[in-house]
Amino acid sequence: MNLEKVIFGFFVLLAATLNFGFFIGDLADADLHSEYELYAAVVVSLITTVLKFGDRTQIGAVHLATSLVADLQLVAASVVWVYCDHVSSRGLDEHAMASIVSLSGGALLANLVSVVLLVIETVSFHRR
């Protein structure tokens, strides 16, 4: 068993599940979406990106691209949350929450592509 692949797979799946946990629920209801879960998704997604830097294969490049997309969308969702909650006079209303959850939905799609790539890579691996 390759410990590096186990750690990589763990963080890819953890990033996807944390993002899914934040995303699920009514789009505009802030009570159903935890800010701490969003921040955890951002941190794990950034860790996953760092783990993907060493791979020089074509599939590794696509893994990195999907991770960067997820990072960008999750960071944008976090920035919108912080802006609406602490800066904007409107506060964290339904419109803002819908934007935050939609951004995390885009990151979730990128995470799912990464998981599919991981499964394809694992299935196509030939033991030597």
Give tens-digit pLDDT for 15-60.
999 999 999 988 888 889 999 999 999 999 999 999 988 778 888 8
Tell if the pTM clears 0.85, that is, is over it: yes
Mean pLDDT of 83-94: 91
Contact status, residue 13 vs residue 20, Cβ threshold 8 Å: no
Among residues 35, 67, 34, which one has the least CA distance to residue 48?
A: 67
Return all residues near 112 (Cβ < 8 A) that are at least 6 apart: 16
In terms of Cβ atoms closer than 10 Å to its own Cβ (0-12, 13-18, 19+), residue 117 is middle
Which residue ranges make up each domain of the chain?
Answer: 3-123
What is the token pair recorded at 120? 């394809």
Q: Report H helices in 52-89.
A: 58-86
Mean of pLDDT over the chain: 91
